[in-house]
Amino acid sequence: MAKILIVDDEAGIRELLSEILGDEGHDVALAENAAEARAWRNARRPDLVLLDIWMPDTDGITLLKEWSANGQLTMPVVMMSGHGTIDTAVEATRIGAIDYLEKPIALQKLLAAVKRSLQKPSTVGRSAQLTLAAFPRSAPLSDLRRRLQQIAQKSRIVLLRAGPGSLAELAARSIKPDAPGWLDLGSVSQPLDIKQLQTVQGGVVFVAELQRLGRTQQKNLAFTIERLERFHLHLVAVTEHAADALLDEGWDESLVHRLYEVNLAPPTLEEVKDDLPEMAAQVLLHLVEAGEVPRRRLSTAALNLLRTHPWPGGFGELRSAVRSLALGTLDEEIGVDDVRRVLPQPVQESHCAVSFDQPLRDAREAFERLYFEHHIGIEGNNMTRIAEKCGLERTHLYRKLKQLGVQVGRRNEES
């Protein structure tokens, strides 16, 4: 029968539902909070989740949003609440919940909801595209997401001022994360027609770099802009060039002015390098859930080594590297040696400079962070050898790394 996860902070409800569903022949697992639910979901793929809305650590709606953003909403979820509202039920359904049960839950309603949910086709391997919503702990990325969605409420066009290797496509997919369609205008070389816009109605039209568009593609862009409202589309265009550069190349002046009316500069990966370990881990999780790679995890040392890489190819390069690591690693854990095989260049040397234009304390901390990251990468997270090389007592070393915000694990301590 089915694997069903019941998430509820009330022991009595968990036990009652477990007994009922167990008698029906289902394999039932229990979680009393969001933390336990996450751990179980990450370890196994349930066929169905019964999720309480009101819980002490993280409410069910937030957990549902998290699973959706991470590409983990590949199973039907039935929400439960003893004091829910119509608005809550509507929001849960919009996010991806398949049904909603009010407590106390009648036996027949429970069994009917479970039966309906289990009859829904599986979505494993068809998870949604990754968006900025998958990185809620990154202040710069959360800020970018809010700005994009605010712009999208008033404007159907946004220009992202970004060069090669940026977060532009990730940002573009975050404007309408539930959009039914996506059209990369740079991949269309022939004249665009109405039918092509109809197929992505309500979605996003994306241009990776304006300056790369030929004459026909420029006409396609103008054609699309005139029909954004009609087909409920949003246009996200990217360029690192000023408007004058396009005008000098013969672009239509009215088209250029329209494109540059609303613009935003997303951060580069270099500017959010402190968030790179979490980003890499989330990318890996998303790839696993999409069925693109086997189940793998990144070691702390591997994450630190990825953090020091310059990533000139931006988010696309990061995603490709993580995918290569997951596919090429023989063990369940991806280690430092695996990262070095995929990124063989000496990544530490590319970040050896410290700005002299900052206060002494900041410059010293920047140097110390690079210094410790260098040795963590070399020693593969062996803290005994790192302490010996740095001439520090291990307790002092741990305290120093925590102060600098350098992530470490307490494994591989053998000398």
Per-residue pLDDT tens for 325-343?
999 999 999 999 999 889 8
Angle between helices 314-328 and 276-289 (to 10 degrees): 60
Question: What's the pLDDT score for residue 379?
Answer: 67
β-sheet bridge partners, residue 297: 333
Please name the residue that has the structure tokens 């591997």. Answer: 302
**Which stretch of DSSP H or E encloses residue 317?**
helix 314-328
Q: Are 57 and 13 in contact (CB under 8 A)?
A: no
In this prediction, residue 248 carries a pLDDT of 94
CA 71 to CA 69: how far, in whole Å? 6
pLDDT of residue 411: 47
Average pLDDT over residues 232-243: 95
Alpha carbons 230 and 202: distance in angstroms, whole number: 10
For residue 350, pLDDT over 50 is answered with no
Strands laid side by side in the 182-184 sheet: 182-184, 204-207, 234-239, 157-161, 263-264
Q: What is the pLDDT, as a whole number, of residue 39? A: 87
Res 124 pLDDT > 50: no
pLDDT digits (tens, 9 = 90+) for 354-377: 677 778 888 888 888 888 887 777
Nearest C-alpha neighbor of 226 from the set 248, 209, 205: 205
Contact (Cβ atoms closer than 8 angstroms) between residue 113 and residue 131: no
Provide, rounded to the nearest whole percent, the portion of the chain with pLDDT above 70. 92
Query: Which residue in 49, 40, 33 sits closest to 97, CA to CA?
Result: 49
pLDDT at 400: 86
Detail the DSSP E strand segments found in 53-120. 77-81, 99-102
Question: Over pLDDT 90: what percentage of the chain?
Answer: 51
Confidence (pLDDT) at 415: 38
Burial (Cβ within 10 Å: 0-12, 13-18, ≥19) of residue 229: exposed
Query: Tens digits of per-residue pLDDT, 264-287?
Result: 999 988 889 889 999 999 999 889
DSSP class of residue 77 equals E
Are residues 166 and 160 in contact, defined by beta-carbon separation less than 8 angstroms?
Answer: yes
The kind and range of the H/E element at 239 are strand 234-239
Token reading at 55: 């819980």
Closest CA to 84 of 120, 51, 118, 49: 51
* Lowest mean pLDDT across 65-69, 194-198, 352-356: 352-356
**Cβ contact 295:190 at 8 Å:** no
Residue 132 has pLDDT above 70, yes or no: yes
Task: Kindly report the backbone phi and psi dihedral angles of residue 204, in degrees, each rounded to the nearest multiple of 5, phi listed first.
Answer: -125, 135
Q: Do residues 210 and 241 touch, judged by C-beta distance below 8 A?
A: yes
**How many CA atoms within 13 Å lie on the side-chain side of 117?**
26
In order of start, what are the domains of the chain with their CATH numbers? 3-118 (3.40.50.2300), 132-264 (3.40.50.300), 271-404 (no CATH)
Residue 154: CB partners within 8 Å, gap ≥ 6?
A: none
